Each structure stands twice: as C-alpha cells, then as structure tokens.
Structure 1
Amino acid sequence: MQEESKEKFVQWLQRHLAHQSDQFVAVSEGVANSVVEHVGVDREKVSVLYNPIPIPEVQEQAGESVDHPWTDSANLDVVLGVGRLERAKNFESFLRAFERVHTARPDTRAIVAGGGSKRTELERLAAELGIDDVVSFPGFVDNPYGYMANADVLAMSSIHEGLPTVLIEALACGCPVVSTDCPSGPAEILKDGEFGPLVDVDDDEGLAAAIQTTLDDPLPSDVLVERATDFAPAAVIDQYEAFIRNFVSVEDTNNLGSRSEPLSQS
C-alpha cells in the first residue's frame, strides 16, 4: 500500500511539473511510454537515457568469495533471486516456480537475497510449498555480485520495474537470466528474449520452464558479459552528451535541474 501511495504521489508531482519542463528523461522506453500516458506530455518531449552501470566494479566484486555452502557445491544448481522482499518483486511467483523446478530437479537450490517487509510471509510460503529446506533467505547482502557469479541462473519475477539493473549486473557477472516481461525494462535489456527468456507476469509454470531451459542450455558467459557492456558508462555517456547538446543551451546549464525532469519507476 505504501508503494502504491508513493507511485500515485510521483505521478501527481510529474503532472504538476510537466508544464515547467522542456524535456523529460526516462530510464527506459517503457517508462517513456508510461510518462506519455500518465503525465500527458508529447512523446517528443521524453528522451530515453539508460542509467550507466559500473560494469568493471561489478565484475571486480563478483570475484570475491561468498559465504554460502550451496554456491561452492558442484553437485547443486543454484537459482538466484535478488531484490527487495516487497510485492512489486513478486517473489511469491519465484517460489512457486522454483517448487516446480525442484520437483523436476531435486539437485536445485534457491537463494533469495534481499530484505523487506515480505520476508516472514515468503518464508511461510516456502514452508507451505515444502521447499523451506532448499530455499535460503540470507537477507540483505553487501555483495550480491558474488552470488550472481556463482549462481547457475538468476530469475526475476517482478510485476513492474523501471530499468532493472539486477538483470544487467547478472549479465555482467556472466550469470544467465530469465525474467518476467513486465513493464518496463526487461525486454529492452534482454532484446526481446535474445539474452534470456521472457515470460508473462505471474506465469509460475512459464517461469519454471524458462529456468529449466536455461539450466539445460545456458548462453555462453562471454555473450552475456558483452551485452552488459552496452550499459557501461563509456557506452552511455555519448547519449547523455547528445541530450545535453540537443536540449540544454549554454545559458541553461546551471539550471539543468529545473529544465529537465528525470523519471524512473522501481
């Protein structure tokens, strides 16, 4: 309920600031379309600029050790979930999908890294599904990239996103990914499934099938890493420079915050 109130407030604020802005900045095409729909501005006034992801730093931290017994076992396949344990991330669907995966593949384990208000509820669901002994909830972890580098697949089950950096970070770590085709960002990051399967939101069976397919036939890690570099600062900075040249005059540079409204949904 708190997230819904926050989202409604942000939309109200955007509508009331729209007439003061020459240009809006969205972090994905999906967010741009949402701005047009909910704020009521022309599409020409919305530019898409991806958030730059520090790929080298992510990869450096991915090389650090992880204190978890399942990531060190060559006999187990680890399905990883990373994110806030809140409704928007829909880890309920993740758990229901993993229950199907584990039934078919008893040597699989799931790690859900993150903190949030839904933890107790999710632990209860895992127990109801009979998978509480094969699902780990380590809570918030300082270095999720070490988990990504040691997981066999990262599964994102979100209901909505803006530009989910967790997918980009997992790719940077060479970790195969599957995701819901939620609004917005996953389809753009994964190029409509080229770099990881996309399934409908709340399609537990589809998510389970995508996880199993990826475990059976993962994309090569170098292919995943190469895709992640498309979101590195060096690749994104040219887009920001072009935006500034096109929409911000020299006189406006000192007032950039009042001339362009950055927008994201997460």
Structure 2
Amino acid sequence: MSNKITFVISGLRGGGAEKVCVTLANGLANQGYDIDLVVLSLNGAVRANELSSKVRLVNLNIGHARYSFFSLWRYISTGKPATVLSFNRQLSVVLVLIRKLLFKEFRLVSRNIIYLSIAEQNKNGMWHGVVSKYLTKRFYSLSDIIVAQSHAMKEDLLDYLCLPDEKVKVIHNPISSEIESIGDSPLDEQACKSDYLLCVGRLEHQKAFHYAIECFSNVAEKYPNLRLKLVGRGSLESELRNQASALGVVDRVDFDGYQSNIFSYYLGAKATLLTSLYEGFPNILVESIALGTPVVAFDCPSGPSEIVINGVNGFLVKQFDLADFCNKIEIVIDEPMPKCQIKATAEAFERNTILDEYARVLMNFDYAYND
C-alpha cells in the first residue's frame, strides 16, 4: 500500500486553514509518510517557510480554483497520489471531476473549513450564488470522506448535502507544534498578564469584531488601563477604527495587523474574545487555552461549544447577548482562572492525537470510490 498523500490547498497565506495544513503536512511527513503539498499560488505565502524540508512543495501558479482543472490533472497523471486531502471545496469539486471525466484513481478526502449552509446562503451573483452552489451540492458530496472540524459542522453537512452518516468524520483541529512547545517551555511559565483583551482574525464581516469593540467600550470605564488588541488584516479596518472613534475608545484599541508570531499575544492577554457570526472550528480558542489564557466566545455555529467549558477555561455566551458578554469579560478579569486548569482542557486537541486520526482516515482504503 502506497504511503503517498497529496495535500491540495489554494495557498499558504496566514489563515487558520493554512496553519492546519502545514501542521498536518509536517507532522505526517515526520512520521514517514510521503507528502506532496500542492498549492495554486504562493502569492502572500507567509506560511511557506514553516514547511518541513520533508514536505515536497508543488506550485501550480494559478490564480483561482476554477482554472485548476488541467494543472491538477497533469499533476495527478505524473504524481499518481494514492490519497488526496483537499482543503478547499472548489478544489474538491475539480478533483471529483478529474476522477469522473478522466478516470483517475485516487482516494479523495475533503476537509470542510466552514459551516457550509450559512456560507452558501451568503453567496450572491450568477457564479457564486448559482453555479458554485450547484457544483458544491452536486459534486462535493462525491468525496470519499468529508472531514468536519466539529460535531455541529458534521450535522450541517449531513443535512445540507444529504449525506449518510459514515461519509462525514469529525476530527478537531490540532494544536500547532509551536504552540505545544511554548506551552511546555519556561517562556510560558514566566509570562505575565498585561492589561489587554485579544481578538485574532481577518477584519471581515464574518468575524464581527464590531461586537468586540462595542463590548470593550462598555467595560473600558471600569478598567482605565485596559486595551483591546486586534491582530489581523482586512477590508473593514477603517470601519472598525471609525466605530472605536465614535465610541470614544480609539486611543485604547490597537490594530496590530497580521503577526507571524502570535504566541506572545496569547500569553499576555487577560482573555481572548471571539464574536464571530459563524465559524468552522476556531483555532484561536484552542491556541488560547493551550497557552493558559481564558476565552469569552459567542456560541456561534460551529465549534466554540466543543472547546469552551464554562467557568473552567472561559465562558460561552448566547450569540449577540452583549450584556452577558460584557459581564463575562469582567468575571475573567476580576476572577482569574488557574492557568494549569485552562491548559488541561486543551489536551483533546494535542497534535499527535489529531495526526493519528487523520492518518487512519487518509490511509483507510476500505471505502469504494463514490463516483
């Protein structure tokens, strides 16, 4: 049985999916698997330098998944992977079509990155609103296995794509090796908390950081030295700055942009906040608790409810209940939770445990092709 596995992803920018891709590729390569990592483009590839030398990087130099058919076909024809792990549903659709139309034999495992039904509802226009939705429903389901990052995501996939239960496997995201090493190092033990709350992610609609700024403005008077740090880039930065100005806290909200080294931010924060409208499986919550920093999160679909344990590693708040969100922020500031208690709740997401789960799915050839 071949141990060759090909990872396929759009690029290696600074997002959570890219981080998980690199973590899995490095981990499986270090376990002796023959790993190719195929990217459409290396534009803005901040995570490329995190790849192990054991991972073979293949750049197709393509701008979008819709143009990838022939390049992926040529790669598969020459590379002959036994299993392909796709990190993008558009790429999964292309790979299914390559199997069906060109009779290529490989096992396709698709890692779903979002709460699909909500993401599809938000699409508009002829291509995204009609064509893309049709292709997703018609062909994405023909992956041999779809990996869901949470149980709520699995239920959504089963319902939205009308899949049998056995087609969807729940595997949580792993803690990165860097986070694990820092969590076990003197750097973690010596870290002191500073007077700030932390938000991490793209400054886009889905992350809904305007709620974080609004809640911060409501607690700011009680904690005159407290700041809010937003780590990430996005199209809404100006809008969020204007909101902070209108609420009178612009001089206490820091827009720190994308940071390749986020660890010190977690270590120093009083708490990490998540105000997203929806998620797949929010890595920032896992990273935060792994480094002993509590979280306050909206109970959005999906993921937070499978990470946050109320009163142990933070608090889960009913979505859009801003009054309770503010209250929980005050509790984590006024009544700090033991660091060791918080870190213990991250054990379920240890890297080796997740790697073993992926290896079992990727190397299980008992499934027939679903074409």
Calculate the TM-score normalised by the size of structure 2.
0.59
Over the matched positions of the two proteins, sequence identity in percent amounts to 31
Residue 290 of structure 2 corresponds to residue 172 of structure 1: yes
In the alignment, what sits opposite 1:263?
Answer: none
2:244 corresponds to 1:129:
no
Corresponding residue number in structure 1 for 2:209: 91
Contact 2:309 2:315 in 1 (8 A): no
Asked if the contact 1:61–1:143 (Cα under 8 Å) also holds between the matched residues in 2, the reply is: no
1:81 matched residue in structure 2: 199
The one-letter amino acid of 2:252's match is V
Aligned-partner Cα distance in 2 for 1:195–1:11: 38
Q: 1:29 to 1:19 in 2, by over 3 A?
A: closer
**Post-superposition CA distance 1:202-230 (Å, at most 9, x none):** 22222111111111122211122222232
Kindly indicate whether the alpha-carbon contact (under 8 Å) linking 2:199 and 2:272 is maintained by their aligned counterparts in 1: yes
Q: Is the 8 A contact 1:61 1:146 kept in 2?
A: no
1:111 pairs with 2:232: no
Assess if the C-alpha contact under 8 Å between 1:23 and 1:259 holds in 2.
Answer: no
| 1:24 counterpart SS class | strand
Q: Which moved more, 1:103-112 or 1:79-88?
A: 103-112
SS at match of 1:222: helix
SS in 2 for 1:170: helix
Contact 1:36 1:43 in 2 (8 A): yes
Letter matched to residue 234 of structure 2: G
Q: 1:26 aligned to 2:148? A: yes
Q: Distance in 2 between matches of 1:148 and 1:107?
A: 18
**Equivalent of residue 168 in structure 2, options 39, 46, 70:** 46
Contact 1:175 1:224 in 2 (8 A): yes
**Deviation by residue 1:128-187 (Cα, 9 ceiling, x = unmatched):** 000011111111112111111011111111110001000011111111111010000000
Given the superposition, is the C-alpha separation of residues 259 and 167 from structure 1 closer, same or farther in structure 2, using an over 3 Å criterion? farther
Partner of 1:248: 365
Which segments of 5 or more consecutive residues in structure 2 lack a partner in the other structure? Answer: 1-118
Task: Say whether 1:228 aligns with 2:346.
Answer: yes
Determine if contact 1:229/1:235 at 8 Å carries over to the other structure. no
Residue in structure 2 matched with residue 264 of structure 1 by the alignment: none
Choose from 307, 312, 326 the match for 1:208: 326
Cα displacement (A) at 1:42: 2.4
Structure of greater relative contact order (alpha carbons < 8 Å, 6+ residues apart)? 1
Q: Which residue of 1 aligns with 2:279?
A: 161
Q: Count residues with an aligned counterpart.
A: 244
Structure with max Cα Rg: 2
Distance in structure 2 (CA, Å) of the matches to 1:229 and 1:169: 11
Q: Which has the higher helix share?
A: 1
Tell me which amino acid in the other structure corresponds to 2:306: E
- Local SS of the residue matching 1:201: coil
Describe the SS at the equivalent of 1:155.
Answer: strand
Q: Which runs of 5+ in 1 are unaligned?
A: 66-71, 253-257, 261-266
Contact 2:141 2:161 (C-alpha < 8 Å) held by counterparts: no
**CA deviation map 1:68-110 (0-9, x unaligned):** xxxx997x62111111100110100000001111122222111
Counterparts in 2 of 1:119 and 1:195: CA distance versus 1, 3 Å? same
Assess, with a 3 A threshold, how the Cα gap between structure 1 residues 239 and 90 changes in structure 2: closer, same or farther: same
- Note closer, same or farther for the CA distance 1:215–1:47 as it changes in structure 2 (3 Å cut): same
Checking the alignment, whether the CA contact within 8 Å between 1:178 and 1:211 is kept in structure 2 is yes
User: By how many angstroms is 1:231 displaced?
Assistant: 0.8
- CA–CA distance in 2 between the matches of 1:60 and 1:51? 17
Q: Is 1:57 aligned to residue 182 of structure 2?
A: no
Alpha-carbon offset, residue 24 of structure 1? 2.3
TM-score of the two chains, using structure 1 as the length reference: 0.80
Residues 182 and 146 of structure 1, relative CA distance in 2, 3 Å threshold: same
Query: 220-229 vs 235-244, which deviates more?
Result: 235-244
**More deviation in 38-47 or 146-155?**
38-47
C-alpha deviation, 1:45, in angstroms: 2.4
Q: Within 5 Å, give how 1:177-196 maps onto structure 2.
A: 177-191=295-309, 194-196=312-314
Q: Write the distance in 1 (CA, Å) between the matches of 2:239 and 2:169.
A: 39
SS in 2 for 1:248: coil
Which residue number corresponds to residue 218 of structure 1?
336
